[in-house]
Amino acid sequence: DQQVKQNSPSLSVQEGRISILNCDYTNSMFDYFLWYKKYPAEGPTFLISISSIKDKNEDGRFTVFLNKSAKHLSLHIVPSQPGDSAVYFCAASGVYSGGGADGLTFGKGTHLIIQP
């Protein structure tokens, strides 16, 4: 059973517009959430994170929103740039994240394509 779900395998956005990537989770024990960006043949690169005690965290063009009651988080990228084209993974951790106390549980990713 997938505990972290990214329901959109791909998303196409025009350059300069806002990209919104969504993620849902089922395990209420998760208390820390992260977004990673991955280019082909490279490892995931950490982008931004948010603790469950917050509902928003901003870093430059990237903002992560957390809605705990809905078990939903989203990553906003604005304005979107061509270099943002990549696969974005949502990940979660907590004491009972499964497979060990500190192993991240990942979604399957969303392929973001920025159109010029």
Partner 1 sequence: GAGVSQSPSNKVTEKGKDVELRCDPISGHTALYWYRQSLGQGLEFLIYFQGNSAPDKSGLPSDRFSAERTGGSVSTLTIQRTQQEDSAVYLCASSLSYSPNQPQHFGDGTRLSIL
Residue that has been written with the tokens 């820390």 in this structure: 32
Alpha-carbon span 88 to 112, nearest angstrom: 7
Q: Which residue has the tokens 């972290």?
A: 4
Residue 49 touches partner 1, criterion: CB under 8 A = yes
Tell me the site size for partner 1, rule CB under 8 A: 31
Question: Binding partner 1 by CB under 8 A: which of 14, 26, 28, 46?
Answer: 46
Residues 6+ apart with CB under 8 A from 97: 3, 27, 29, 30, 103, 104, 105
Annotate each residue in 4-23 with x if it binds partner 1 (CB under 8 A) or - if it does not, as one string: x-------------------
Distance CA 85, CA 113 (A): 5
Select the span of 17-25, 41-49, 55-63, 71-79 touching partner 1 (CB under 8 A). Answer: 41-49
Give 85's DSSP letter. -
Binders of partner 1 among residues 52 to 91 (CB under 8 A) are: 89, 91
Smallest gap from residue 110 Cβ to partner 1 (A): 11
Of positions 84, 88, 107, 114, contacts partner 1 by CB under 8 A = 107
